[in-house]
Structure 1
Amino acid sequence: MSAEHLDALIGKLDLAQKVRLLTGGAFWSTHAEPAIGLGEMALADGPSGVRGVVWDDGDPSVCLPSPTAIAASWDVDMATRMGGILAAEARRKGVHVVLAPTVNLHRSPLGGRHFECWSEDPLLTARMAAGVVRSLQDDGVAATVKHYVANDAETDRRHVDVRVDERTLREVYLAPFEYLVRDAGAWMVMAAYNSVNGATMTEHDLLTDPLRSAWGFDGAVVSDWRAARTTVAAGRAGLDLAMPGPDGPWGAALEDAVRSGEVDEAHVDAKVRNLLCLAVRVGALAPLGGDPFPRQPLASTVSADGAEVRAAARDGMVLVRNDGPLLPVDPAALRKVAVIGELAADPRIQGGGSAQVRPVYTVSILDGLRAALDGVAEVSHVDGCHLDDGLPDIPASRMDHSGDADGCGDAGDAGPVRLRWLRADGTLIHEERRTSARLTRWATDVPPGASAVEMSATFVPDRSGSWHVGFTGAGTFVFTVDGDVVLDGAVNPEHDDGALQMLGPPHWYTPMELVADRPAELFLRHRVGGLGVAIGLGVRPPRRSAEEELAAAAEAARTADLTVVVVGTSEQVESEGYDRRDLRLPGRQDELVRRVAAENPRTVVVVNSGSPVELPWRNDVPSILLGWFGGQEMGHAVADIVLGAAEPGGRLPTTWPDRLDDVPVSETTPVDGRLEYDEGLHIGYRAWLRSGSSPAYPFGHGLGYTSWELTELGVAPDIDADIDADADADAYDAAAVVTVGVRNTGERHGKQVVQVYLARPSSTVDRPVRWLAGFAVVRAEAGEMSTVEVTLPRRAFAHWDVEHHRWTVEPGRFDVLVGFSATDIHRTTAISLSTARADVRPRDK
């Protein structure tokens, strides 16, 4: 649709109609405007799945591995396939815009939202996220690149002022956004909550320059939810859409500001034009007025057995230690396998916060190993220790499905959980039946006039003893068990942020003696208010003491042929809304690993976390597999790797420290409202190399089940003669192509990631010791020789000139270092650049 046509459509709207389009029509959707053939556009969170505009178990979502897991594959094609799944899910759920990918960086391992971001390196982040952006948009679903910019921690995220110098901002934090706009063509960018150098991002000049001016962004800028705070400043800035709606700082106030001359109506027209352009791209605007295109679902790219998600989980899992080697284990050699850990039976497949979805199903690590060893070996399970991670939902298998919760038997098989919405006078508005005892409804999805909601279910315990019985939610409640009032009062939220109260509500419970197979009627009444309703009924079965659990784990390990211990974080550790206080595993998990390893030398530890944790026992166990938050097929993927059906394909996308005290850059807490990025360019592996200290496992590290060697290295230049004339032009075109020979010297098929770094041995500007400039995945059979070409873009050689505010290339020699991690370098050559020409002078290491 031409610019002239869009302008003609805008000309049909009066000021009130135009301003109305600039604020959401509901919590997850925009306004329609029938006068110009504009339909609503639905927006929904990613990136591990597409939740949809209603968060409900009746419409579950495919749950992918976390972005850290996908990034660990270092495989852009894999990221592209995951983007295709997100697109199919979005179209199935009627979603036009997916709020992903998150391309903030792993500046500190304490970042609470670390799992939702990709990497500590801007190039790896950009390249992997671009696969998601392109595949989403190829299928007519807008990607939203977020959170623009420097939203790399969660502490005081709404008000923190990030202080970062111009060069660091350009070369590090803006770099992934630039690539995704200029090279991948992103259709939407989300402005973050935080400020940068004194200006809040929804009002920042960065929304115009470089986003639109230098990068040529022609999409729409949306605020993070409730990040838009002002009428005039935001109205003059490059923000196009304030979410959520229908309330916000614009509306009638922006109309008044235009009429008074405080905001030029041309700003409003530009914002509307950007939204209409987005609507054209996602099929929400009719070509010549009238009704928008009908939006047809895409055929699902996920098979019934979840093979695609399973493969992605395997390809991102990182084997960081394999002494012996212990892995892979021959299933035929096993008779008894002990699986230990609370997370083995109930793994974390996704992180907390807005990235969460209701999964279609979850394959636990225990289930995966039992399925793989069915008829081959006995697989036992012991918790070993407890994480005290909230209150589990009532299992559907332990709810009475014979009738409705009050015993009338009039619900048939509609679901064992009854939900009733009530007016202030207690009269019924609406009643529904559910299969799950958890409910999340944003205010716009709550029945009009509802003052309270009641949830009830019949729980049938499978054992006698002291159960924890309770609910999730913040606000005012009445909770009864078998008609007896257990609580009548308020449960205070853990966070001031209303959205986080919805996404991660607090848990309340009390111990109660229950008898096996004797039904217990659970009833919850909640006063409706705020952003919506987030409640649930939950139970936790009786437990052994901590010492009894540890002793049981040690005994199980003592008699097993193989022990698999699963340790990891809880939702109280890794989630949107708050940063981590330390990197320690919660509970007594470190002690658990040591006790088990002392009893059985054939111990595999699977780490179920989305980001780095301290592993103080890492040299005391033979094998450590980082499983990340592995998505709904996590259990099958772990079984495939442990038993050798597939090898772990991952390489670390972020450095794993030995101890938090060793981390060069770790601060996430503002001082006097400011968070200083004093380290400049040197984050992640760059900071480690600069410090001279060694982490537990370096960036890019990962082991497989075969061995590799680099056999040859060559570099071909492809640089314009006058390289410095305009270093920003064609920034992602090839400056040089590195050709690498790679041989699989082992005895089985495998995967390797060839990593190419640049270094500037003598420079007039501050440089990292080395920085990632390109990479390529190699898959080869035993003994097979492969040749890969790694393109080094012009931008890899450039730096930001703060004096002239432009990209430039410093003449001289750049070392080209090729290897299998940031510290495992196998071959070296060099490229000499001048402003007149580029000479290539290879030199073997």
Structure 2
Amino acid sequence: MWTLPAVPALGLRSIVMSDGPIGVRGGAWSAADPSIALPSPTALAATWDIGLARRAGALLAQEARRKGVHVLLAPTVNLHRSPLGGRHFECFSEDPLLTGELAAGYVNGVQAGGVAVTVKHFVANDFETERMTANVVVAERALRELYLRPFEIVVEKARPFGIMTAYNGVNGTTMSEHGELVDGVLRGEWGFDGVTVSDWFGARDTVRAALGGLDVAMPGPRTVYGPALVRAVEDGRLPEAVVDEHVGRVLELARRTGAIEGAEPPAVAEIDGEALAREVAARSFTLLTNSGGLLPLGRDRRIALIGGLAKEARVMGGGSAQVFPGHVVSPLDGLTAAGLDVTYARGADPSAKLPPARFALRATAFDADGAVLGEVEQPDGAVLWIGRPPAGIDGERLAAVTVAGTYVPETGGPHRFAVEGIGAYRLTVGGEVLYDGTVEPDGDDPFGLFFTPPQTVVPIELAAGRPVEVSLTHRVLRSRRTPLPAVAFALAHREPVLDDDALMAEAVAVAAAADVAVVVVGTSKEVESEGFDRTSLRLPGRQDELMARVAAANPRTIAVVNAGSPVEMPWRDRVASILLTWFPGQEGGHALADVLLGAEEPGGRLPTTWPATLEDCPVVNCTPENGELRYDEGVLIGYRAWDRAPAEPAFAFGSGLGYTTWSYEHAAYADGTLTVELRNTGDRPGREVVQAYLSPTAPDPARPARWLAGFAVAEAAPGTTTTVTIEIPRRSFATWTPTGWTPHPGPHTLTAAHSLTTPKLTVTVTTIAP
């Protein structure tokens, strides 16, 4: 599932691959081997900090080396074309330059540690609906200026060891067979010298894939390569020289990652993963409003902390990006650990589903005769084994898995347990059988069967303090419908809670009695995950109502938005502060306390535009029709499209506030470099993201009104000045035409800005370097 086999005669060790991008899961998809969980890529992009991205990559290399992984299946550099894109959280930005520069930093960090990347998904895989079969119809100019551009930047600045081809087709050709883009553009024009890997089950035809430049078809061995590739050569359908080229690149990958005799990966410095996860989270948090300077808070404030997500934090997106952290710090954990005066109320939940059980559990694997194959500890009730099972468990003999433990209720009353997954289950609590039956799938997407399975809830009365034995046994599903060799199910649980109306009333009362209300709202895995696109930008459940009612009860309400991609905020003008925490990784609760108290400044700036409503968005559709998804908007996506839209977004690209103020003193341009001098005019140290936008001095209907041409992070103490230099790529002055890249010699206006809509200084560029 995740490895290439060893070839001892060549001194070649098995090459191990693992999903990222926020952590390194390892060769087994199991909680038995925990991983550091960093914030989501949208969070990392919100830092606009290439150096921080490189440090994150270095940590992931350290994690990969610890787990024996040679190839990290990351980063994702597809674009935020539509806010409905299901893997929006796993991509960086709507802008190709910001995406490419941050991804290059990430890749350089990973590969400096002797670990390969596979930059993905090449190319135009910006949607989930019918992603394995859809054909994207996109004009050459948009393909070059937007969708290929991040890959080109990474190849130029980071020399990635691998690139993953996408499931979809582009202009009629499946990407795993797209010789024009793989061998012609990627290898021929850009000089990429690494390995190409198919997305899992994405290779379709032996000869077409081999001739189209695909080196490795995953997973194996039952794929279009392996024995099928041998037969194609023997039958004369494929020249052996083509296979030699693929083999040579795989051997070079082994050399670069130390997977072959005589090649050892470099030594790496030890990195504190928890500290870096906390730092990235704080720097990613994006403060959008802060009426009356409510933030940062004083320690003497009485805080009402409200929301289901404040206690049961969502720290990562769903799908193949999931890892298993050793611990998760929720907002409630973080504020409590900081010694704050906190009163918690649930208020409302983003999902009607119960969360995985959180008491001490173990998972035991059995064969068909009931013999124990292995046992592993479970940090929670969610079992997700894809590929090789943990702890040496023989996957061929695996017939059943039991999750069991002793639960001691803190509260007596009507507890709820749930079976989550498809297949046959038997659930017992305190010796009573609560469920014994089979759960049928409720959808057709095979990946959805694992990432968002159905849940069956059963109630039981339990007494406080009285231990009960809980056991859930799953008979392992073996079906041709599921493309992955996997065990995926969960034991879920929730303690007694008030009904929805009572929870809402309790939250309002708690907020009214506090100095400040901090309300955490966000998305659930049912609405934001791999495997499907979103259908709405509304917060699920009654969270909008919760926010509006709390804000009415306490004008000092801080909205903390725990989502990986844009959501509508109809209450945004009624709260004092809005703080985006994205999917903040395992240390998100500590980072939240740091930012609320001012120990850290919220360093984030929006890497994508946040609309007021979905209906306002200029580009929305990500649903193919008759197998085709047309990118008819051309180069006008993201802020490029908003500049021509009749509606204004809620928050523009690049927006975000800090805890200090800045004066932009001077800007000058020479020899491809913009120099900006600015001064910290506040009373505390701060960070500013200086953004450079280029625009034609005379409006040009053939080009966007403006586009990001560069950026840099500035730091300064109170009252002091600092200078940043921003490289303005020559490509920024060019557009793609039938004859290739064609420069527009000017004049152009170059603007140093705090955000897209807050310009500070401008200079005129009349010539560009040849």
Is the TM value for this pair above 0.5?
Answer: yes
- 1:301 paired residue among 240, 246, 271: 271
Match for residue 406 of structure 1?
A: none
Native 8 Å contact 1:391 1:471 kept in 2:
no
Distance 1:588 1:54 in 2: 37
| Partner-residue secondary structure (3-state), 2:736 | strand
8 Å contact kept, 1:91–1:297: no
**CA drift at 1:258:** 1.2
Name the residue aligned to 2:365: 420
Q: Deviations over 1:642-691 (max 9, x none)?
A: 11112111110000001111011111111111111111111111100122
Contact conserved, 1:465 with 1:513, CA < 8 A, in 2? Answer: yes
Q: Answer yes or no: is 1:823 the counterpart of 2:757.
A: yes
Alpha-carbon distance, 1:482 to partner: 4.2
TM-score normalized with structure 2 length: 0.95
Q: Which position in structure 2 is the counterpart of 1:9?
A: none
* DSSP-derived class of the 2:229 partner: helix
What amino acid sits opposite 1:366 in the alignment?
L
Compared CA separation, residues 764 and 603, structure 1 to 2 (3 A): closer
Once residues 220 and 259 of structure 1 are traced to their aligned partners in structure 2, the CA distance between those partners, rounded to angstroms, is: 24
Residue identity opposite 2:385 in structure 1: R
1:117 counterpart = 2:102:
no
For 1:738-782, what per-residue CA distance to the aligned partner results, in whole angstroms no more than 9, with x for missing partners? 111111111111111111111124477721110000011111111
User: 1:431/1:252 Cα in 2 relative to 1: closer, same or farther (>3 Å)?
Assistant: closer
Is the 8 Å Cα contact of residues 29 and 388 (structure 2) preserved in structure 1?
A: no
Mapped to 2, the partners of 1:262 and 1:779 lie a distance apart of: 60
Shift in alpha-carbon separation, 1:495–1:30, aligned structure 2, 3 A: farther
User: What's the offset of the Cα at 1:296?
Assistant: 8.6
Summarize deviations over 1:489-518 as a string: whole Å, max 9, x none: 322335544444334443322222223233
Q: Say if 2:238 is the partner of 1:263.
A: yes
Aligned pairs for 1:448-487 (under 5 A) are 448-487=396-435
Q: For 1:96-495, what aligned pairs fall within 5 Å after superposition?
A: 96-205=70-179, 206-287=181-262, 293=264, 298=268, 300-302=270-272, 306-332=274-300, 334=301, 336-372=302-338, 374=339, 377-396=340-359, 399=360, 416-423=361-368, 426-436=369-379, 437-445=381-389, 447=394, 448-495=396-443
Instruction: Decide which of 478, 485, 508 is 1:529's aligned counterpart.
Output: 478
Offset, 1:462: 2.2
TM-score, normalisation: structure 1: 0.87
**Equivalence for 1:693:** 647
Choose 378-387 or 164-173, whichever is displaced more. 378-387
Deviation of 1:829 after TM superposition, in Å, equals: 1.6
Spell out, residue by residue over 1:382-438, the C-alpha distance to the aligned partner (whole angstroms, 9 max, x if none). 001122353322222xx4xxxxxxxxxxxxxxxx52513112xx2415142424433
* Structure 2 match to 1:615: 569
CA distance in 1, matches of 2:426, 2:221: 31
1-structure distance, mates of 2:517, 2:646: 36
Pick aligned residue for 1:543 from 472, 487, 497 = 497
| Alpha-carbon distance in 1 for matches of 2:661, 2:130 | 46
Q: Is contact 1:744–1:780 with CA below 8 Å preserved after alignment?
A: yes
1:483 deviation in Å?
4.5
Q: Which residue of 2 aligns with 1:807?
A: 741
Query: What are the residue-to-residue correspondences of 1:652-663 with 2, within 5 Å?
Result: 652-663=606-617
- Return the offset for 1:190: 0.2
CA distance in 1, matches of 2:474, 2:724: 62
Q: Confirm or deny: 8 A CA contact 1:235 1:268 kept in the other structure.
A: yes
1:13 aligns with none
Pairing partner for 2:20 from 23, 46, 50: 46
Q: What is the distance in 2 between the residues matched to 1:178 and 1:223?
A: 19
Counting only pairs closer than 5 Å after superposition, residues 396-795 of structure 1 correspond to structure 2 as 396=359, 399=360, 416-423=361-368, 426-436=369-379, 437-445=381-389, 447=394, 448-518=396-466, 519-530=468-479, 531-717=485-671, 736-762=672-698, 766-795=702-731
**1:264–1:113 CA distance, 2 compared to 1 (3 A):** same
Query: What's the secondary structure of 1:213's corresponding residue?
Result: helix
What secondary structure sits across from 2:184 in the alignment? Answer: coil
RMSD: 1.8
* Structure 2 Cα separation of the partners of residues 111 and 525 of structure 1: 33
- Is the 2:350–2:522 Cα contact (8 Å) retained in structure 1? no
Counterpart of 1:274 in structure 2: which amino acid? R
Quick one: which amino acid aligns to residue 344 of structure 1? A
Name the CA distance, whole Å, in 2 between partners of 1:788 and 1:420. Answer: 58
Task: Confirm or deny: 8 A CA contact 1:753 1:775 kept in the other structure.
Answer: yes
The unaligned stretches of length 5 or more in structure 2 are: 480-484
Q: Deviations over 1:160-195 (max 9, x none)?
A: 111100010001000000111122101100001111
* Runs of 4+ more than 6 Å apart: none
Counterpart AA for 2:585: G
Cα distance in 2, alignment partners of residues 350 and 452 from structure 1: 28
- How far apart, in 2, do the equivalents of 1:70 and 1:521 lie? 40
Shift of 1:265: 1.2
- Paired letter, 1:421: F
**Aligned equivalents of 2:260, 2:568: Cα separation in 1:** 51
Asked if the contact 2:404/2:469 (under 8 Å) is kept, the reply is no
- Preserved CA contact (<8 Å) 2:295 2:596: yes
Distance 1:331 1:454, change over 3 A: closer
Aligned CA distance change for structure 1 residues 317 and 429 (closer, same or farther; 3 Å): same
Quick check: 584-593 or 491-500, which moved more? 491-500
CA distance, structure 2, for counterparts of residue 351 and residue 194 of structure 1: 22
Deviation of 1:54 (Å): 1.2
2:425–2:472 CA contact under 8 A, matched in 1:
no
**What is the number of residues matched between the two proteins?**
758
Distance 1:557 1:468 in 2: 27
Point out the structure with max Rg over C-alpha: 1
* 5+ residue gaps, structure 1: 1-26, 400-415, 718-735, 839-845
Question: CA distance change for structure 1 residues 234 and 626 in 2, over 3 Å: closer, same or farther?
Answer: same
